Structure 1
Amino acid sequence: MSDAPAEADSATEFQGVKVMVIDDSKTIRRTAESLLQKHGAAVETAVDGFEALSRVADSRPDIIFIDVMMPRLDGYQTCALIKNNKQFRETPVIMLSSKDSVFDKAKGRVVGSEDYLTKPFTRDDLLDAMRKYAHQGAPE
């Protein structure tokens, strides 16, 4: 039996999992990056869909979080482009949005996203999504 606190386990919970966070909000990117890194994930960020698309092929993330409302290329378009590439079809994509209507969530499903988190999301929302989907795209 270990007397170490549960927090010690959290530092390795997502060890080896590569995450991409795409959001035009610096606050959202930094918050998600910090939280996920504390749990052992390797995190890469992008400010918009164009930047993300140029990095996805190189970084090959295991899970991707995408903001819906971004300039130039929105989250739905970015998700559709990622999912249309057979290399990334199985990579879980989680949409992030302040909109939470049934229509918005359905639109996310249509373009191939696995889930939809409403902003502001909580620490637990983000970690639950990681637990549910991160190992789906990660190599065993």
Structure 2
Amino acid sequence: MVIDDSNTIRRSAEIFLRQSGCTVFLAEDGFDALSKITSHLPDVIFVDIMMPRLDGYQTCTLIKRNPRFNTTPVIMLSSKDGLFDRARGRMAGSDQYLTKPFNQSELLDAVRLYARPSGNAGSTEQPT
């Protein structure tokens, strides 16, 4: 799942991940994501830090506090690359931090590192 208020970032990540065989779910903000996570059960969640209404730190914290999703890997996406921002992401429960602009290789490395093998028999797609 890719959560970002920027349509450009969402679509770029979607293209990168789909080209590699991943199933991708998109959300525009934290509220949108929380409802979709329950329905789609993503293996990996990429979340932008700077979003309106519910930012990435708050979204990550809510995901990690839910016993059903607390083991789901959350990777923060941000144009901020400071030590404070990375530490705050870790405190919220994030598993990794990627700096924008990211590339296809960085996204796929994170998926390979964190995604569980797909339970869909005969499917090569990995839900993200």
Shift of 1:135: 2.5
User: Distance in 2 between the 1:92 and 1:130 partners?
Assistant: 9
Deviation at 1:139, TM superposition (A): 5.6
Q: How many residues align?
A: 120
Deviations 1:111-138 (A, max 9, x none): 11000000001111111111111128x6
Structure 2: which amino acid aligns with 1:123?
Q
- Choose from 75, 89, 107 the match for 2:56: 75
Please name the residue that 2:103 is paired with. Answer: 122
1:97-116 to 2 correspondences below 5 Å: 97-116=78-97
The structure with higher relative contact order (CA 8 Å, sep 6+) is 2
Larger Rg: 1
Alpha-carbon distance between aligned partners in 1 of 2:18 and 2:108, rounded to the nearest angstrom: 11
Partner of 1:9: none
Q: Which residue of 1 aligns with 2:71?
A: 90
Q: Among the aligned pairs, what percent are the same residue?
A: 61
Aligned amino acid, residue 63 of structure 1: V
Supply the RMSD in Å over aligned alpha carbons.
1.4
Return the letter of the residue paired with 1:79: C
One-letter amino acid matched to 1:95? M
TM score, norm. by length of structure 1: 0.82
Deviations along 1:2-25, one digit per CA (max 9) or x if unpaired, are xxxxxxxxxxxxxxxxxx100001
TM-score using structure 2 length? 0.89
SS state at 2:115 partner: helix
Task: Report Cα offsets for 1:50-95 as digits up to 9, x if no partner.
Answer: 1001111111111000000000000000000000000001000000
Question: 2:23 is matched by which residue type in structure 1?
Answer: A
Distance 1:139 1:123 in 2: 24
SS at match of 1:116: strand
* Matched residue SS, 2:116: helix
Q: Using the alignment, how far apart are the partners of 1:91 and 1:132 within structure 2?
A: 12
Which structure 2 residue ranges, 5 or more long, are not aligned? Answer: 121-128
Pick from 32, 53, 67 the counterpart of residue 34 of structure 2.
53
The answer as to whether partners of 2:17 and 2:104 remain within 8 angstroms in 1 is: no
